[in-house]
Structure 1
Amino acid sequence: MNAELAAALLIGLLGSSHCLVMCGGIAGALQLSMSGSGQHKVVLQLLLSAGRLSSYALFGAAVGYFGASAMQLAGASLLWLRLLAGVLLLMMALYISRLWFGLLVLEKLGQHIWRRVQPVAQGLLPLNSAAKAYAYGLCWGALPCGLVYSTLGWSLASGSAGMGALLMLSFGIGTLPAILLTGSAATLLLKLKSHTVFRYSAALLLAIYAIYTIWLAMRRLVF
């Protein structure tokens, strides 16, 4: 379990370069809509992120519970879910290495959900209270993102609601530096994550863990 949570954290951290493109502008615009002193804005920004991570955890718990329940009803082994988890991990490793961008196709699937959530989110602006900031963060968690959806698929294969929630929460924590850091610190982080050696090394670690997960599942299913 610890290895899976560490992998989810790493995916969030490395994949957050995409978050900077998709969500960096949103985060900046939301900061401008926040009222009050600098300290108050920091609190609102943290609550905004807390709401987003809460959404991720809730989604992860829901799909984790659904995946386990569906396999039990079908009378199938949970090892098939482990096999699916390994395949999704391998896909995310390829995405992080920038050798394959097939996960971006998933973002189109979430546009229908976001069209329903976006009017609710817009109604919360300006973010002039703690409740509004947290509620907007909950809505933000539904923003279409291929990497989020792939991690949700991994949560589906986690085998339980608790593990599904922890995987998504770990992933969300990994994205926080890219969203919360600004200025030179964010630029430095982006350069580090974009460095070829760093990116390929991290992707290789994820790929090795993915292949190991696939091998374990297949060995137990066959033998």
Structure 2
Amino acid sequence: MSTELAANFFVALSIGFLGSSHCLVMCGGIVSALQLSMPQVSVLQQLKLQFILSLGRLTTYGLLGALTGAFGAAVLVKLGISLFWLKLLAGVLLLLMAFYVARLWFALTVLEKLGSALWRKIQPVAKALLPLDSGSKALGYGLCWGFLPCGLVYSSLGWSLASGSAYEGAVLMLAFGLGTLPAMLAVGSFARQLSQFKNNTLIRAGAAVLLALYALYTIALALAPRLF
């Protein structure tokens, strides 16, 4: 893994973690409903089904990241679009994510409306898998869950598109998905403590500043060859 990809992996992981408060708003009801739909088995078995659900969701993220990354690479070659534009897009999206994490501007939520039509087609398939009384149903539902409209997911996909590589696109989306896992799997007092940590003003402000600086660095890398 290159140094740049390793840095992007860490940034995507952080975005997933810090942005997962929004994930809880979007998906919290789903998580609760899914827990209720699980059979009356041991806590360990329910946790296993939750992990399988998350595996399905992350698989969808990874596949979508690979597809968008491959598409970005194809666009570069076939349409002759300069890497400059994709890198610039990546920087702008990162800057929007920084505003989102800082809770200064929620422009990314507009993207959620774009995926609503697709989700309406997938949702009946997901509902048909309930109740989640087997690992295969949990995996199938998780695969569907990955298509739930979310501004952070779609902006991360835009970042994957800008990576210009199927491999890097998949890595970025998987890192984002891994970052959301603690919030999705947390229960009880740990969930409250995790939420308090993420919502701490200094934590969010510090993370937003670092993300904004990385966004500006990405934009500068894109602009440098044209300015100097």
TM category, shorter: over 0.9
Deviation at 1:40, TM superposition (A): 1.5
CA distance in 2, matches of 1:166, 1:135: 22
Is the Cα contact below 8 Å between 1:68 and 1:78 reproduced in 2?
Answer: no
1:9 matched to 2:13: yes
Unpaired runs of 5+ residues, structure 1, are: none
Alpha-carbon deviations, 1:150-199, whole Å to 9, x = none?
Answer: 00000000110000000000000000000000111111111111111110
| Alignment of structure 1 residues 90-169 onto 2, 5 Å | 90-169=95-174
CA distance in 1, matches of 2:47, 2:144: 19
CA distance in 1, matches of 2:201, 2:88: 29
CA distance in 2, matches of 1:193, 1:40: 28
CA distance in 2, matches of 1:127, 1:220: 53
Q: Where does residue 23 of structure 2 map in the other structure? A: 19
CA distance in 2, matches of 1:221, 1:69: 23
Is the Cα contact below 8 Å between 1:114 and 1:143 reproduced in 2?
Answer: yes
Q: Where does residue 37 of structure 2 map in the other structure? A: 33
Deviation at 1:78, TM superposition (A): 1.5
Q: Where does residue 207 of structure 1 map in the other structure? A: 212
CA distance in 2, matches of 1:113, 1:41: 29
Letter in 2 for 1:37: S
Structure 1 segments of 4 or more deviating over 3 A?
A: none
1:196 matched to 2:201: yes
CA distance in 2, matches of 1:112, 1:179: 24
Letter in 2 for 1:23: C
User: What RMSD over aligned residues (CA atoms) do the two structures have, in Å?
Assistant: 0.9
Alpha-carbon deviations, 1:36-93, whole Å to 9, x = none?
Answer: 3222211111000000000000000000000110111112322321111011000000
Identity within the alignment, % = 61
Greater shift in the superposed pair: 76-85 or 42-51: 76-85
1:43 matched to 2:48: yes
CA distance in 1, matches of 2:223, 2:58: 33
CA distance in 2, matches of 1:76, 1:70: 6
Letter in 1 for 2:93: L
CA distance in 1, matches of 2:64, 2:10: 19
CA distance in 2, matches of 1:48, 1:215: 39
CA distance in 2, matches of 1:221, 1:125: 54
CA distance in 2, matches of 1:57, 1:2: 16
Is the Cα contact below 8 Å between 1:82 and 1:157 reproduced in 2?
Answer: yes
CA distance in 2, matches of 1:145, 1:174: 15
CA distance in 1, matches of 2:194, 2:103: 17
Deviation at 1:221, TM superposition (A): 3.3
Q: Where does residue 94 of structure 2 map in the other structure? A: 89
CA distance in 2, matches of 1:222, 1:74: 24
